[in-house]
Amino acid sequence: MARHRDPDPKSDDRHLGPLVRIGDPGEANVIAAMLRSAGIDVRMHGASFGPYPVGIGELAEVEIWVDIDDLDDARSILADYQE
């Protein structure tokens, strides 16, 4: 009998690539929500998501990563947002 296991993000077989680095975690969440609403899976990395969130300077920066197959679509959505 197969047991259900949650996927381990460290062993994820998808190939993720960086999309953008944002200095405002709130804005990063807005961008991530827009990408997700377009069907693009998003991974966000940054100290602001740890147990002791940091919101000052470079420590507040959030990197948004997407599957490399979705990079072009994600860049287009990001460009429209930044206009």
Full DSSP string of 26-70: HHHHHHHHHHHHTT--EEEE-GGGSSS---SGGGG-EEEEEEGGG
* Residue 52, domain member (yes or no): yes
* Residue 6 is assigned to a structural domain of this protein: no
Q: Does 13 fall in a domain?
A: no
CATH number at residue 57: 3.30.70
Average pLDDT in the chain: 80
Model confidence pTM above 0.75: no
Q: Confirm if 35 and 66 have CB atoms less than 8 A apart.
A: yes
pLDDT of residue 59: 65
Count: domains in the chain = 1
Residue 63 forms part of a structural domain: yes
- Give yes or no for residue 53 having a pLDDT over 80: no
- Is residue 65 in a domain? yes
Q: Does residue 33 lie in a domain region?
A: yes
Query: In 3D, which of 41, 16, 34 has the Cα closest to residue 79?
Result: 34
16 sits in which H/E element: strand 16-22
Q: Phi/psi at 4 (nearest 5 deg)?
A: -75, 135
Which residues form the domain of 73? Answer: 28-82
7 inside domain: no
